[in-house]
Structure formats: C-alpha cells, structure tokens
Amino acid sequence: MSDQPVALVTGGGTGIGAACCRRLAAEGFRVGIHYRSSEEKAKKLEAELENAFLVKADLADSESLDALIKELKTLAGRIDVLVNNAGYNVNAPMLAMNLEQYDSVASVARGTWYLTKLVLRRFMMRSGTGRIINISSVVGHTGNAGQIPYPMVKAGLDAFTKSLAQELAGREILVNAIAPGFIDTEMTDELPEEVQAAILAKIPQGRTGTADEIADVVAFLATRGSYINGSVLHVNGGMYGG
C-alpha cells in the first residue's frame, strides 16, 4: 500500500466536487473522482490532475456502491478522506411534486449513508483514522420554498454528521459538515432568474460564493482542523450564522 493518502470525492466531476478534487490533489492527496453521469468532465479532470483515478457509481443503487468499494480496494487500498459531496435537487412546489421526484432526491441521502458505512468498515475502522466531510446546505437550516425534499435531506445530513461523530467517539475519525450558501455552479444556474436575484439580496457580502471557497474549507478539514468534530461549518457570505 502506498504511503500517499487517498481522498474520495463523490460527485467529483462537476462544480464544488471538482474544485475539491483539485484542491485535495494540491494538498498531496491521490484523489478518487467519483461520478455518475458526468463521465466526460470527470475524465478531463482526471487527465488534468497528476495523481487521480476515476470511479463510477449511482448513489441511488446500493449494489453499485458495493461494487465501488471492491474497486476502491484494488485501485487505492486505502481511503483517508471521504467527501460526501454528491447531491440532487428537484425544483417543484409541494403540491406539484410526485413520489418519484421525492425519491430521486432522498435516494442520494440513503446512498451517502450506505457509502459512508462501507468506507468506515472497509478502510477507516481498520486504519483507525479518517476524515468524513459532508456537503450539506444552508437551506437545511433556513428551509426553502419550492424544493422541500432537498432541505429535508440536507438537514438530515447535518444530523447524520453530529450523530456519527458521537458514535465514533474515542477514535481519530472526525466527521464534519460544510453547509454552503449560494455557490455559483450548474446547480444554481438552473434556478429561475428571479429566484437567483431574491437569494442574492439576502447575502450580506453581496455576491455568490465560488466552488473554490468551499474547497478551501474542505481542504482545511481534511488536513488540519484536528479539534473540529461533529460540527457544521456555515460558508455563505453572512447569509446565515447557525
């Protein structure tokens, strides 16, 4: 097994995930870029980074995650940092949303729980160390009209973070969440212009955040932050303080 630490970033081919991959590679990690559908972007990123590898899985499909773990054993042999970045959103008001849409958002949370369990069991519990960093959202705290399953899942991810940190007490496996505010990525580009303008008006810093500004905090939690555990770090330009 190589001495180089390995970081796995889910949804690493796009947006915030891609920025995390770049930043963690710069910090000396060998980076596992996980993707589901963004193969082209993930491949481009793999080619750009010096020491990275690609893995594909659908977080909504537990068998796909079982296969992913087997692949990680061969490709990496260790996982030191897990960034649970993948997320999915459907924009529709409560009465217009159907169960299938609800499940498409909620199944990513189920998959995040399951992947974390597998990574803990196969890698981190064996090495006795690790950092788990969950990317939640400010809307898990403030609520947000027009996308109810998404804030539900994100609030749950923060509760998952706190609970898992307590369950792992006494080990050097630290679990934290970062709750971004309004970050400029494809996910936010899809919001109607009037919704984007209304959100912008609520940000004291007067601008959206960048994926790199989230990746900075991920890198800090992955490599330093040794006394931060079970916390939710709000990174939102002053929109919400927790």
Is residue 150 part of the annotated active site? The answer reads: yes
Stretch that binds ligand NAP, among 10-18, 95-103, 159-167, 220-228 (CB under 6 A): 10-18
- Distance, in Å, from the CA atom of 147 to the CA atom of 138, rounded to the nearest integer, reads 13
Stretch that binds ligand NAP, among 45-53, 72-80, 161-169, 176-184 (CB under 6 A): 176-184
- Distance, in Å, from the CA atom of 222 to the CA atom of 152, rounded to the nearest integer, reads 26
Cβ–Cβ under 8 Å, residues 109 and 137: no
Cβ–Cβ under 8 Å, residues 53 and 33: yes
Tell me the β-bridge partners of 5.
none
Stretch that binds ligand NAP, among 57-65, 67-75, 158-166, 167-175 (CB under 6 A): 57-65
Rounded to a whole number of angstroms, the minimum distance from the CB of residue 27 to ligand NAP is: 19
Choice between 129 and 156, CB closer to ligand NAP: 156
Q: Which residues contact 46 (CB under 8 A, 6 or more apart)?
A: 33, 52, 53, 54
**Residue 116 in contact with ligand NAP, rule: CB under 6 A:** no
Q: How many residues bind to ligand NAP according to rule CB under 6 A?
A: 28
Measured torsion, CA atoms of residues 206, 140, 8, 33, in degrees rounded to the nearest 10: -60
Choice between 75 and 125, CB closer to ligand NAP: 75
Cβ–Cβ under 8 Å, residues 31 and 10: no
Q: Is 6 helix (H, G, I), strand (E, B) or coil?
A: strand
* Candidate residues 29, 35, 123, 160; the one interacting with ligand NAP per rule CB under 6 A: 35
**Residue 87 in contact with ligand NAP, rule: CB under 6 A:** yes
**Residue ranges that bind ligand NAP, judged by CB under 6 A:** 10-11, 13-17, 35-38, 58-60, 85-88, 108, 135, 137, 180, 182-183, 185-188
List active site positions: 150
